[in-house]
Amino acid sequence: MTTTTRKQLFTFEEYCTYDDGTENRYELVNGSLEQMNPPTYRHLLIAKLLERTFDAEIKRMNLPLICLREAGVRTGWSKSRLLDVSVHDSEQVRECLDQSAIDQTHPILAVEIVSPDSIKRDYRYKRSEYAALGIPEYWIIDPLKNQISILILDEGLYEETIYLGDQKIVSSVFPNLSLSVQDVLCV
């Protein structure tokens, strides 16, 4: 369940430095802080698997990219989302090493792992925000439906392909990826 923590509206700059003295994680949605529930162990293991897989592909292909977990991305004037897994241009990350881990441009790949309280957020809101931001590839990992949706940006809209079971995932960022839905969901 997502809850709004305070009625006060925050600017993006205030959000970047906000600290309530807890380990709580927040997204900024139209100026309001929305607390994110702690993830499940399945969620954490899927994110870890994808980070390791993407890191291996980046190294194998010798790409100037970096894979991160739980980094943020600014999606609007008063909006910022926390990504489960993301792939970024490594030079852009190095230029901001001592700043809050919130990308003000955009990653080249974003991954969200669906939980019961994030269905509408992951499938609807983040989809439209990420398309407007220009994120070229967006993965929606859905353990509830046992499927993975890969969305590729085409002329400002996402073209979606849904993968099930032992189907191999096709990625434009990592074209030689050898990963099936079962590989991801059966952690």
Domain extent listing, the chain = 39-185
What average pLDDT does this structure show over 164-185?
Answer: 95
Average pLDDT over residues 75-90: 85
Secondary structure letter of residue 168 according to DSSP:
B
Q: Is the pLDDT of residue 127 over 60?
A: yes
- pLDDT tens, 27-47? 778 888 888 888 888 999 999
Question: What is residue 6's predicted lDDT score, i.e. its pLDDT?
Answer: 44
Residue 2 reports pLDDT greater than 60:
no
Pairing of strands 72-76, 79-82: antiparallel
Q: How buried is 41 (Cβ within 10 angstroms: 0-12 exposed, 13-18 middle, 19+ buried)?
A: exposed
Q: For residue 67, what are the CA distances in angstroms to 48, 57, 62, 123? A: 11, 10, 13, 22
Q: Is the pLDDT of residue 5 over 50?
A: no
- pTM, entire model: 0.84
The pLDDT of residue 164 is above 60: yes
Q: Could you tell me the pLDDT band of residue 48, with boundaries at 50, 70 and 90?
A: very high
Which pair of structure tokens corresponds to residue 103?
Answer: 């990308």
Question: pLDDT digits over 141-159, tens only?
Answer: 999 999 999 999 999 999 9
Instruction: Identify the CATH number of the domain defined by range 39-185.
Output: 3.90.1570.10
